């Protein structure tokens, strides 16, 4: 299945770091040859490639969005040229409808078992990776069937919608083909073995409000809970994992400790913003925008630590969560702070007559990811762009974010259902 001969297509666009260098195809001999051998007009194919390349260049500084758009456009162009035998300027509703049907049940040779890059370096050239396919299963188990989720179909539609709008602005298309595609043709195949809603592991809005209120009250009467309040608000508001608030080993065994210097004030279009640089999973760095409402909690924590300025200053080396010894508390201690906060909240719930709710909170007292999920879901439900939240979560693409964190449509449906009269 991974043989190069049985897959008729090919990768088109390199990584975000190399996309600019790809413009003249000088170092891409395989791609030059493949474009010249397509069963459509050669100049039309080249025009399709370069207009798509120009579009992707706009997103090369946002890795997650770039990868999502690149994946979709490569797949769509391979289908358009090789299966439909058209070029991009001929895209219409029939083409897009047939494309959606194709990606629901693609031929086996279009699917790889495992994730592979499109190009590999060889003698200063970028050559095709023969294992690459437009669609991929994360499992390398050859018996695993390929299936597409509704979240993936939604992400495909979103990517193509953005792409087609760009083509319209460039006068490359006369009409957006998606406008005439029926909704049912954009839906994934029904999974007859799955009749339940996706399990979104997050706090309800009431649970979060109760947790925040509990910690605020505790911190106001006992200063030892100031740290609990700051940790919980920070993890939820900035979408952080426990490990992202504690020292982490980096190159040659050195520790990278989160410090107040990781908070930075920046100005964009004349407006001041605060961002937090996260050294996260896979040793990747990302930046998270601080909500305006979070600033007061940051000031409160710094005041508790008796630091000289209300907000961080450039290069400040003080650990965000200092220990009594002067260094920083570890991952296990951050985990314990979360557990203590949940237990305290459950105790207050029970004392106020919310016994069932208290049991629910106690059941997740060790599952810190609930804060990250809650923050992301609430942000998206409030209208934030899922692509931006995906970037701040550190996800590779918005499809994963949508499938794991987003539940707003389901929530609205359940609310409406509960309000029906008997």
Q: Do 33 and 124 sit in the same domain of this protein?
A: yes
Interstrand relation of 263-268 and 271-279 (parallel, antiparallel or unpaired): antiparallel
What residues make up the domain containing 149? 4-186
Q: Do 149 and 293 sit in the same domain of this protein?
A: no
* Of 155, 186, 217, the domain-final residue: 186
Q: Do 167 and 306 sit in the same domain of this protein?
A: no
Round to whole Å and give the CA distance between 191 and 322: 50
Q: Is residue 191 in a domain?
A: no
**The pLDDT value given to residue 253:** 67
**H or E segment and range at residue 256:** strand 255-256
- Measured CA to CA in angstroms, residue 190 lies from 162, 171, 187, 194, 364 at distances of 26, 37, 8, 9, 32
Quote the pTM value. Answer: 0.54
Q: Is residue 53 in a domain?
A: yes
**CATH number, position 363:** 1.10.443.10
Q: Is residue 138 in a domain?
A: yes
**The pLDDT value given to residue 5:** 44
SS3 71: helix
Tell me which residue has tokens 């993890």. Answer: 235
Number of domains comprising the chain: 2
Q: Do 177 and 275 sit in the same domain of this protein?
A: no
Q: Is residue 193 in a domain?
A: no
Q: What is the DSSP string of 267-279?
A: EETTEEEEEEEEE
Q: Do 178 and 209 sit in the same domain of this protein?
A: no
SS3 151: helix
Q: Which residues of 279-309 are buried (b: 16+ CB within 10 A; e: fewer)?
A: bbeeeeebebbbeeebeebbebbbeebebee
**The pLDDT value given to residue 255:** 84
* Of 117, 152, 186, the domain-final residue: 186
Round to whole Å and give the CA distance between 334 and 323: 11
Q: Do 153 and 250 sit in the same domain of this protein?
A: no
Tell me which residue has tokens 């979070």. Answer: 294
Q: Do 54 and 182 sit in the same domain of this protein?
A: yes
**The pLDDT value given to residue 4:** 41
Q: Do 312 and 371 sit in the same domain of this protein?
A: yes
Q: Is residue 365 in a domain?
A: yes
**The pLDDT value given to residue 1:** 38
- Measured CA to CA in angstroms, residue 381 lies from 386, 402, 411 at distances of 9, 11, 10
Contact of 410 with 377, CB cutoff 8 Å: no
Q: Is residue 129 in a domain?
A: yes
Q: Do 404 and 369 sit in the same domain of this protein?
A: yes
Q: Do 89 and 135 sit in the same domain of this protein?
A: yes
Q: Is residue 195 in a domain?
A: no
Q: Which residues of 356-385 are buried (b: 16+ CB within 10 A; e: fewer)?
A: ebbeebbebbeebebbbbbbbbbbbbeeee
**The pLDDT value given to residue 390:** 76
Q: Do 17 and 164 sit in the same domain of this protein?
A: yes
Mean pLDDT by runs of 10 across the 422 residues of the chain is: 66 93 92 95 95 93 83 96 95 92 91 90 94 82 74 86 93 90 63 48 89 96 96 94 86 83 88 86 79 95 96 94 90 94 96 92 90 85 76 66 53 51 58
Q: Is residue 346 in a domain?
A: yes
* Of 186, 213, 228, the domain-final residue: 186
Q: Do 409 and 335 sit in the same domain of this protein?
A: yes
Q: Which residues of 203-234 are buried (b: 16+ CB within 10 A; e: fewer)?
A: beeebbebbbebbeebbeeeeebbbbbbbbbb
């Amino acid at each position: 299945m991974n043989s190069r001969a049985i897959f008729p297509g090919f990768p088109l666009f390199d990584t975000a770091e190399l996309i600019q260098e790809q413009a003249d195809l000088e170092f891409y001999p395989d791609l030059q040859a493949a474009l010249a051998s397509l069963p459509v007009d050669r100049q039309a194919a080249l025009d399709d490639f370069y207009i798509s390349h120009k579009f992707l260049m706009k997103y090369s500084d946002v890795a997650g969005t770039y990868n999502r758009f690149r994946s979709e456009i490569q797949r769509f162009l391979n289908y358009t040229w090789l299966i439909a035998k058209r070029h991009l300027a001929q895209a219409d509703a029939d083409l897009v409808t047939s494309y959606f049907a194709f990606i629901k049940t693609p031929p086996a040779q279009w699917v790889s078992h495992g994730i592979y890059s499109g190009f590999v370096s060889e003698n200063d050239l970028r050559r095709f990776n023969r294992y690459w396919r437009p669609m991929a299963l994360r499992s390398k188990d050859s018996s695993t069937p390929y299936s597409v989720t509704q979240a993936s179909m939604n992400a495909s539609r979103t990517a193509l919608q953005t792409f087609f709008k760009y083509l319209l602005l460039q006068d490359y298309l006369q009409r957006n083909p998606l406008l005439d595609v029926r909704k049912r043709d954009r839906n994934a195949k029904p999974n007859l073995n799955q009749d339940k809603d996706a399990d979104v592991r997050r706090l309800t809005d009431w649970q979060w409000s109760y947790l925040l209120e509990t910690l605020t009250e505790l911190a106001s009467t006992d200063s030892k809970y100031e740290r609990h309040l700051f940790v919980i608000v920070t993890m939820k508001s900035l979408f952080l994992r426990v490990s992202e608030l504690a020292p982490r080993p980096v190159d040659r065994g050195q520790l990278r400790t989160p410090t107040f210097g990781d908070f930075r004030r920046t100005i964009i279009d004349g407006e001041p913003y605060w961002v937090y640089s996260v050294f996260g999973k896979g040793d990747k760095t990302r930046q998270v925008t601080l909500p305006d409402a979070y600033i007061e909690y940051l000031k409160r924590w710094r005041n508790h630590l008796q630091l000289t300025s209300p907000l961080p200053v450039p290069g400040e080396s003080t650990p965000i969560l200092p220990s009594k010894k002067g260094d920083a508390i570890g991952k296990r201690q951050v985990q314990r702070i979360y557990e203590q906060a949940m237990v305290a909240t459950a105790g207050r719930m029970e004392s106020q007559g919310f016994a069932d709710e208290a049991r629910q909170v106690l059941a997740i007292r060790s599952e810190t990811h609930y804060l990250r999920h809650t923050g992301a879901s609430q942000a998206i439900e409030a209208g934030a762009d899922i692509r931006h939240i995906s970037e701040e979560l550190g996800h590779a693409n918005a499809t994963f974010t949508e499938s794991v964190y987003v539940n707003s449509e389901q929530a609205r449906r359940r609310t409406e259902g509960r309000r029906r009269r008997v």
